[in-house]
Amino acid sequence: MRAGDHPRVTAVTGPGSPWSVVHHLDEVSSTHDDALARLKDGEVAGVVVVADRQTRGRGRAGRGWEDGPGPESSLMLTATVRAPSGAVTLAPLAAGLALADAVDHLDLLPEVEGVGERLRLKWPNDVMVDDRKCAGILVERHLVDDPNGGEPVDVLLLGIGTDVDWRGTDRTGERAAWTSLAEAREGDVDRFALLGALLEALARRVAAVDDAPSALLADYRRRCLTLGQDVEAQGVGGSAISGFAVDVDDAGRLLVDTGRERIAITAGDVTLLRSDT
Ligand code: BTN
């Protein structure tokens, strides 16, 4: 089945929806490259690109992003939206929350009594299940020409890569820090049902950046694995700082208390010192 034909996807695309069309490609260099090329060719924000394989998948901080063992192992997509007029830096957090919403909506990882939610967000937006990463998010901002000849349009490419079903993967060595949804739930996951639920949640969460940022941040803080932990992070200028992650501010920055001062981290890798994540 093609992604755009799944009933949960057709239910959230087309007229009246923020998502105009879902292009499902067998192989692409990166869904970001393809989505940007489409916008430059005159398609408008709202286009979604899904690929089974990426030959040059991109991760954060210049890293790559690996495909799964088979063409249906991962859900890799770029959703294009007009940049919010509010705090655009909240969009990557909104995308992480949207994936959490989708997993909840499909009840893929029911809460464990006494433990709470299994899916949490490691700041800024690594999606973790039981402390193992199962999805990553890469957001890019571009100005593209308006096909109608107006002012250039400020768009975000919301790239989400979810490891859906990597069962059979050897989880020793570096791969021990990762999991997939099917491994975590020990059962099947309908990849395109997840896509439909994700697109529904993504539209709502991205709209909240402008409409309801306080509620968005409150939900984010509840889901955030990093808060209340000792962390090591890159401060402004690139120097490593250690401290206690106390909050996420209104711009989505992680506030780290070093004992002497409170430093706002805007981007980069944060290591939780309590474990090897
Ligand atoms: C990370 O490093 O955690 C972010 C990974 C983002 C991967 C996704 S897969 C779909 C989209 N296309 C890409 O090339 N990257 C993002």
pLDDT at 254 over 80: yes
* Residue ID of nearest Cα to ligand 1 atom 7: 161
Per-residue pLDDT at 237: 66
Model confidence at 277, in pLDDT bands (50, 70, 90)? Answer: very low
Atom in ligand 1 nearest the alpha carbon of residue 125: 3
Contact 192, 24 (CB under 8 A): no
Per-residue pLDDT at 38: 97
% residues pLDDT > 90 (the chain):
86
By most ligand atoms within 8 Å of CB, the mutation choice from 28, 58, 127 for ligand 1 is: 58
Per-residue pLDDT at 232: 94
pLDDT at 42 over 60: yes
Model confidence at 276, in pLDDT bands (50, 70, 90)? Answer: very low
Atom in ligand 1 nearest the alpha carbon of residue 54: 14
Q: Could you give the CA distance from residue 230 to residue 117 in angstroms, rounded to a whole number?
A: 21
**Where are the extended beta strands (E) located within the chain?**
21-28, 47-54, 74-82, 119-122, 126-129, 132-144, 153-163, 230-234, 240-248, 254-257, 262-265, 270-272
Q: How far is the CA of 258 from the centre of ligand 1 (A)?
A: 31
Per-residue pLDDT at 236: 59
Beta bridge partners of 77: 50, 160
pLDDT at 10 over 90: yes
Atom in ligand 1 nearest the alpha carbon of residue 136: 3
The set of residues, in sequence order, having a beta carbon less than 8 Å from that of 85 and lying 6+ positions away, is 210
Phi, then psi, of 247 in degrees rounded to 5: -165, 170
Average pLDDT over residues 203-232: 97
Token duo for residue 219: 């939900």
The set of residues, in sequence order, having a beta carbon less than 8 Å from that of 86 and lying 6+ positions away, is 209, 210, 213
> Rg of the Cα trace of the chain?
18
pLDDT at 275 over 70: no
Average pLDDT over residues 65-71: 94
Atom in ligand 1 nearest the alpha carbon of residue 161: 9
The residues lining ligand 1, judged by C-beta closer than 6 Å to any ligand atom, are 30-32, 54, 57-60, 63, 65, 76-78, 126, 136-138, 159-161
- The predicted-structure confidence for 185-217, as pLDDT tens digits, reads as follows 999 999 999 999 999 999 999 999 999 999 999
- The predicted-structure confidence for 90-140, as pLDDT tens digits, reads as follows 999 999 999 999 999 999 999 888 778 899 999 998 999 999 999 999 999
Q: How far is the CA of 154 from the centre of ligand 1 (A)?
A: 20
Q: How far is the CA of 162 from the centre of ligand 1 (A)?
A: 9
Average pLDDT over residues 146-166: 94
Model confidence at 272, in pLDDT bands (50, 70, 90)? Answer: confident
Q: Could you give the CA distance from residue 94 to residue 28 in angstroms, rounded to a whole number?
A: 26
